[in-house]
Amino acid sequence: MTQRDKSLAKRASFGSRRRDPSIIDRDPFIIDVDEHTFQKDVLDASQEHLVMVDFWADWCPPCKALTPVLERIAHDFGGRFLLAKVEVDENMRLAGHYKLRGFPTILFFWQGEQIAHFAGYKPVHTVRELVESLLDGIEVAG
């Protein structure tokens, strides 16, 4: 079983509060990332697009609640940013590198640098406003 298959299987186990995990296969704006692909899929990709990184864990109820919020926003923005999902239990070195203590933690990257973050559950309007603000700043600067 590949890393992607394992991740999809874990997501499927989240239950009815999560959407159908097969949407990841149809939505190119949501990707699974690990410590081996982080450089290319997050840092390098952030040279051209805002990248939101969701550090989540299977055992974390706030992660389960936030996942559909993030994925809906990624889908609604239609490619204006990329949502990269990192399962922390399988990628502890990445979580340690960014000194993450609680989950979920969301980091935003632009041009290879972390430009914003938040931790814990946030309602959809709060996350949407943050993403809009970051995108507006990037578009003005770009």
What ranges in the chain are assigned the alpha helix state H?
3-12, 23-26, 38, 61-77, 92-97, 124-141
Write out residues in the chain with pLDDT < 50, as ranges.
1-20, 22-24
86-114 pLDDT, tens digit per residue, is 999 999 999 999 999 999 999 999 999 99
Burial of 86 (0-12, 13-18, 19+ CB in 10 A): buried
Residue 139 pLDDT: 74
Residue 100 pLDDT: 95
Residue 140 pLDDT: 65
Residue 141 pLDDT: 66
**Is domain 3-141 classified as CATH 3.40.30.10?**
yes
Taking the model in full, what pTM does it have? 0.81
Judge whether 97 and 17 are in contact, CB under 8 Å: no
- How far apart are the C-alpha atoms of 83 and 35, rounded to whole Å? 16
Residue 26 pLDDT: 64
Domain ranges for the chain, please list them. Answer: 3-141
Active site amino acids: 60, 63
104: preceding bond cis by omega (within 30 degrees): yes
How many Cα atoms occupy the beta-carbon half-sphere of 84 within 13 Å? 24
Residue 11 pLDDT: 40
73-90 pLDDT, tens digit per residue, is 999 999 999 999 999 999
Residue 23 pLDDT: 47
